Amino acid sequence: MPMTQKSKMLVETQTQRDRALQLLEALRAAKLRSEQNLAKLNQTDFLKKVTGSSSMDNAIASTQRLIDAFNRVLDQLQDELSDEDLAMLGSLERPAPSVS
């Protein structure tokens, strides 16, 4: 049986959400490396000093908001799928909870 449009949207949205989760982890790792490098050089992050948050903090927060939006869409799509669609999708994982 072919996938319905909503099933396809759910799979694609989950794929993009998972890519955003990978990006979030990469951003967090890069932030840690950046902070370690600044500490080694005895430097400060001037943007963070002025605004209270670094460009990495802003990128992490933006990516987290994107993941939260994907999770809301996934919840809505899963609520709208029929039991038949859900069975066809099999063990599709539920959206990951928001992590701040």
What is the SS3 assignment for 52?
A: coil
pLDDT in tens, 29-52: 999 999 999 999 999 988 898 999
pTM of structure = 0.77
**Residue 23 confidence (pLDDT) above 90:** yes
CA proximity to 35, closest of 51, 54, 50: 54
C-alpha span between 48 and 15 (Å, rounded): 33
pLDDT of amino acid 98? 46
**Residue 83 confidence (pLDDT) above 50:** yes
pLDDT of amino acid 1? 53
What dihedral do alpha carbons 12, 17, 20, 26 form, nearest 10°? -110
The share of the chain scoring above pLDDT 70, in percent, equals 85
